[in-house]
Structure 1
Amino acid sequence: MSQQIRVVQCIQCKMYQVDFVKKANTWQCKICRENQNLLKEFFRGSAAECRVKVQHLNLERGMQEDKLNALFLTAKQQLEAEKDCLDNEENTTPQKNANKWANYVDKPLVPTQKSTAEPRITEELSGEISMDFKKTRRTEPRSFKRSAENMPSANKKSCSKWSDFL
C-alpha cells in the first residue's frame, strides 16, 4: 500500500502544498516554516496526483492575485489622472503674477519730509563707499602701515644659526 498524501494551504503565505497523512493534524509550511493545524484538506491521493493538483491550485491563485493587482493598478492610475485633471484646471485659471520675494523683503521706507541734510549725508556716504571693486579697500598710503620691524614677535630669537641666511 502506497503512502497517502494530502493537499493543504498555508494560512500565512497562502501557498498550496503537499503533506503526508499522519495521525497528528499538524503540519509545517515548507516556504515560511509556520507550524499550523490542519484546517482543510483540499485533495487526497497519490504523490503524482497531489503534485498536479498543487500546481493547478497555485496557478489559479497566482492568476487571481494578478487580476487584483491589475485592478488596483488601474484604479490608482485613474485616481492619479483625476488629480492631474484637477490640478490642470486649477492651473488654467489666471493667477496674479506677483513677485515671490515681495513676501520676504521689507517695504522701502518713504520719507514724509524732505530735509536738506539727507542729500549731504548721502553724498558723503557715496564718496566713502565706492562701487568700483577693482580698487583696493585701503585708501591711505602704505607708509601708514606698520612695518615688519615694528611688529612684536614673541618667537623671534636673536641668536639663531639661521639668522645669517635671512
Structure 2
Amino acid sequence: MSQQIRVVQCIQCKMYQVDFVKKAKTWQCKICRQKQNVLKEFFRGSAAECRVRVQHLNLERGMQEDRQNSLFITAKRQLEAEEDCLESEENTTPQKKTNKWANYVDKPLETTQKSAAEPRITEELSDEISMDFKRSRSTGPRSFKRSAENMSSVNKKICTKWNDFL
C-alpha cells in the first residue's frame, strides 16, 4: 500500500501544501512554520496527483490576489482623481496666505544695511582666521614663552650611530 498524501491550506499564509496523512490531526506549514489542525482536506491521492493539484490551486489563488490588487489600485486612483477635482474646484478663488510667524519675528533688516555689514564681517573673520602658519597663535608677551635655549631636550646632544653618516 502506498503512502496517502493530502492537500491542505495554511491558515496564516494561505498557501496550499502537500502533507502526509497521519493519525494525528495536526500539521506544520513548511513556509511559515505555523502548527495547526487540519480544518479542511482539499484533495487526497498519490504524490504526483497532489503536487499537480497544489500547483493549480496556488496559481488560482495568486491570480485572484492579483485581480483584487488591481481592482484596489484602480479604485484608489479613482478616489484620488475625484479628490483632486474637488480640491481644484474649492481652490478656484485664490486666498492670500498669511505667515503666522510674522507676528512673532522681528522685521528683517533692509538690504542696504545687510550689504554694508557683510564686508565688515568678512574682514573681522579674516583677521581672526589667518592663513599664516609660521606666526604663533598666542599673542601674549614673549617673556612668558619658553625659548628653545631653555628647553632641556635641545641642549642635550643626542649620540646615535646615524650621526656618523650625517
User: Structure 1 length normalisation: TM-score?
Assistant: 0.62
Q: Which residue does the alignment assign to 1:156?
A: 144
Q: Which residue does the alignment assign to 1:46?
A: 46
Q: Which residue does the alignment assign to 1:64?
A: 64
- The structure-2 alpha-carbon separation of the partners of 1:95 and 1:9, relative to structure 1 and needing over 3 Å to count, comes to same
Query: What SS class does the counterpart of residue 33 from structure 2 fall into?
Result: coil
Q: Which residue does the alignment assign to 1:10?
A: 10
Deviation at 1:66, TM superposition (A): 0.8
Q: Which residue does the alignment assign to 1:78?
A: 78
> What amino acid maps onto 1:156 in structure 2?
F
Q: Which residue does the alignment assign to 2:37?
A: 37
Deviation at 1:160, TM superposition (A): 6.7
Return the alpha-carbon distance in structure 1 between the equivalents of residues 10 and 105 of structure 2. Answer: 65
Deviation at 1:106, TM superposition (A): 6.7
Matched, 1:26 2:9: no
> What amino acid maps onto 2:11 in structure 1?
I
Q: Which residue does the alignment assign to 1:90?
A: 90
Q: Mean alpha-carbon deviation: is it higher for 61-70 or for 81-90?
A: 81-90
Higher helix share: 2
- The structure-2 alpha-carbon separation of the partners of 1:102 and 1:58, relative to structure 1 and needing over 3 Å to count, comes to same
> What amino acid maps onto 1:29 in structure 2?
C
> What amino acid maps onto 2:51 in structure 1?
R
Percent identity at matched positions? Answer: 73
Q: Mean alpha-carbon deviation: is it higher for 40-49 or for 79-88?
A: 79-88
Query: What SS class does the counterpart of residue 6 from structure 2 fall into?
Result: strand
Structure 2: gaps spanning 5 or more residues: 108-112, 125-138, 151-166
Return the alpha-carbon distance in structure 1 between the equivalents of residues 33 and 63 of structure 2. Answer: 24
Query: What SS class does the counterpart of residue 92 from structure 1 fall into?
Result: coil
- The structure-2 alpha-carbon separation of the partners of 1:20 and 1:154, relative to structure 1 and needing over 3 Å to count, comes to same
Deviation at 1:10, TM superposition (A): 0.4
Return the alpha-carbon distance in structure 1 between the equivalents of residues 147 and 13 of structure 2. Answer: 88
Give per-residue Cα distances to partners, 1:20-48, cap 9 Å, x unaligned.
Answer: 11111111111011111111100001111
The structure that has the greater radius of gyration is: 1
Deviation at 1:64, TM superposition (A): 1.1
> What amino acid maps onto 1:58 in structure 2?
N
CA RMSD of aligned residues (A): 3.3
